[in-house]
Amino acid sequence: MTDSDGTTNEVLFRARNVKNTSPSSGEVIIFQTVLTNIGSAYDHQSGMFTAPVAGLYIFTLQLCIADEQYIYFEIVVDDEPILKSVGVDDYNKWSTGDSFSTAAILEAGAKVWVKYHSGSKKCICTNTDHWNMFHGFLVRQN
């Protein structure tokens, strides 16, 4: 939906299906299957979300960690982390899924992505029972 001045006031993306389950340090974790992309702000080729308007946004990340593996990652805005965390599977039979959320006040054009910091060699689990997902939406436009 757009305002009378042509600006977008609805922004929502949902993406899943991690392209690389064994990323290198500093690599963008790309979620290549786009389920929803209202406002066309998420680029499934680069893994980057670009804020179409200034405002308050919420981002949520779900990562499924492979058996007995770990991953350190960040959600980044224009090269500055806004969330840093670790996902760990310390069991020996089941992969675990962890969810993380954060809020950010963004300027129009700000870029947001998930960055792999370090971890086990093949740390991200992928199968039909576990989804890795990255979501974001505009709460309030400035």
Per DSSP, the residues of 11-53 read -EEEEEEES-SSPPTT-B--EEEEEEEETS-EETTTTEEE-SS
Higher per-residue pLDDT: 79 or 69 = 79
Assign residue 41 a region (left: φ > 0; alpha: ψ between -120 and 50; beta: otherwise). alpha
CATH classification number, 12-141, choose in 1.10.3720.10, 3.30.420.40, 3.40.50.720, 2.60.120.40: 2.60.120.40
Reported pTM: 0.85
Among all chains, which residue has been given the structure tokens 């006040």? 105
Residue 89 predicted with pLDDT over 70: no
In this predicted model, what pLDDT tens digit does every residue of 14-32 receive, in sequence order?
999 888 877 888 999 999 9
**Mean pLDDT across the stretch 44-61?**
97
Average pLDDT, the chain: 85
